[in-house]
Structures are given as structure tokens and as C-alpha cells.
Amino acid sequence: LGQTWIETADEVGVMGVGGSLDESLRVATTGLALWLTDRYHLSQSEIAAVLGTAMRYEIAEVVDPQINIVATIRKDMLAKIHP
């Protein structure tokens, strides 16, 4: 998928790096949507429902000229998705 994604014991996430907060949010959200499409083969409306109810953002870095935001979703929420 070309973006850095992370996995912890409780969640997965995709990093979004950009020159502005808006760009970083868009890149992170799009990356998580693509990750869900790749792993779970969800439709666009299914992805919108999942992201709208289960996605969370974490600001990873703002001191660099580039802003890094991670879009995350808990694994217990992913367990409810049936590929």
C-alpha cells in the first residue's frame, strides 16, 4: 500500500504524513481505508461506516516541518468485520 502501518496488541493504524494538518488527516484516513479494502474487501459504504464509528486519530509528530498523524482502529472492532 506504500504507507507505513503499525500494529500493537490492541489496534492497527496507518500513518499519514503531510505539510499541513488537513493533508496529514486525509493521507492517514485514505491509507486506513485502503488497508481495510485490501484486508477485508469492503465496499466504499462499508468502509465509511467502519471509519465513521471506529476510527481514531493520534498526532504522532508536529515538530518537524511534516505533520504525522496515525489513523487507528481497535482490533476488537476489526473482529466484528466478516471478510
CA distance 64 to 26: 18
Sign of CA pseudo-dihedral 18, 20, 21, 27:
negative
Please list the pLDDT of the chain residue by residue as tens digits (83 residues): 578 889 999 999 999 999 999 999 999 999 999 999 999 999 999 999 999 999 999 998 888 789 999 999 999 999 988 76
pTM across the whole model: 0.88
CA distance 25 to 8: 21
Describe the chain by its helix, strand, coil percentages, rounded to 5.
40, 30, 25
pLDDT of residue 64: 78
